[in-house]
Amino acid sequence: MAGMRRRLWQLALLVLGCWTLSGCGLGYYWQAARGHLELMDQREPVAQVVADPATPASTRDQLEYAQAALAFAHSELGLPDNGSYQQYAAIDRDAVVWNVVAAPAFSLEPRVWCFPVAGCVSYRGYFKQAAAEDFARGLRERGDDIYVGGVRAYSTLGRFADPLTSPMLTLADYRLAGLLFHELAHQQVYLPGDTVFNESFASAVEQAGMRRWLTAREETAARCDYERWLSRRDKVRQILARSRARLSALYLDSAEPAVTRQAKAAALQSLRDDYQALRDQWPGPPYFDGWFGAGLNNASLAALAAYDQWVPSFFALLKRHDGELPAFYAAVQVLADADAQVREAELAALARDQISQPAPLDNCATKQAASQDKPPG
């Protein structure tokens, strides 16, 4: 009975949060709160799942790997140890939530929604795919480009003990560890409303953490896979950036809508062709095919936008503190607390520092990763 009352209070508090915002839909917050609590109710301690003879061996191995990465995150990376990812939720779907991203037909600027805690973000998340598609349908009918994408990870920024989920276990081991480091970095420092700052910081922690993790475990093959994935992702992002620049220039033109629409379709097809030419150079996975399907549009380009602009700045800041992560985190928090103009000026100054990239590992060219990338999330 006490547990039920506690869950009802949690549900009420989550829903009441919407009253602090103008124009919020109570139904949206109700589904978010209810979906969150249902997920929390599905959690089981990882140790219990691992000890269960009915647990498949592959699931047991992945959970043990995740717990080892989690222990490393706490002890060696200094990331928050608050119970997150020490429980497991096996769910009967391929994603935890589905994010809806929308953008006008002739703009790459996504629609923005504002929420308690998270601030303003360029998506709305739904725990049921049908609800996400229903909301997307209304936006599409008014003329917006729409992207609906499933998300494997689930984060409440440390306010609840976030679980590992079965969709997370579909990732290769090196991607799973990186995801844990990334999500825990959001719990370490989070600036509401500044996606680029948050994602750049978490990506820098993920990359620095992964190199330390894989080196400590002497996992040379996995390190090769990880570096290959980063390198290829960067090349894909370069062609995406060029395409966004072309489309932005197109949308600023004052041509008739029919002419602009035709030119937009040609530009998107050119982007697919550029990716195919890049892909043809790769002898094997990882690939990024899911990013370039029939649904490629302004909204999916917004979802694929590179939010790691300041990663070099954070690497420079880490180097300034001799790789000492606690001092680095404190310096990042100072930046987060600073005035926006001061923060951006400091990040720009840091970006001008010359940071050497990790040297390629021997024999990486002969090793191939075994997974193919999916769309964001």
Whether 9 is in a domain gets the answer yes
Whether 136 is in a domain gets the answer no
pLDDT of residue 354: 59
Whether 126 is in a domain gets the answer no
Whether 23 is in a domain gets the answer yes
Whether 226 is in a domain gets the answer no
Q: Who contacts 236 (Cβ-Cβ below 8 Å, separation ≥6)? A: 275, 278, 288, 291
**Count of domains in the chain?**
1
User: Which tens digit of pLDDT belongs to each residue from 76-109?
Assistant: 999 999 999 999 999 999 999 999 999 999 999 9
Domain that holds residue 37: 1-41
pLDDT of residue 139: 96
Q: What does the chain come to in residues?
A: 377
Whether 374 is in a domain gets the answer no
User: Which tens digit of pLDDT belongs to each residue from 143-191?
Assistant: 999 999 999 987 888 888 899 999 999 999 989 999 999 999 999 999 9
Mean pLDDT for the stretch of residues 37-50: 94
Whether 19 is in a domain gets the answer yes
Average per-residue pLDDT for the chain: 87
Q: Who contacts 282 (Cβ-Cβ below 8 Å, separation ≥6)? A: 232
Whether 35 is in a domain gets the answer yes
User: Which tens digit of pLDDT belongs to each residue from 208-240?
Assistant: 999 999 999 999 999 999 999 999 999 999 999
Confidence of residue 350 (pLDDT cuts 50, 70, 90): very high
pLDDT of residue 353: 80
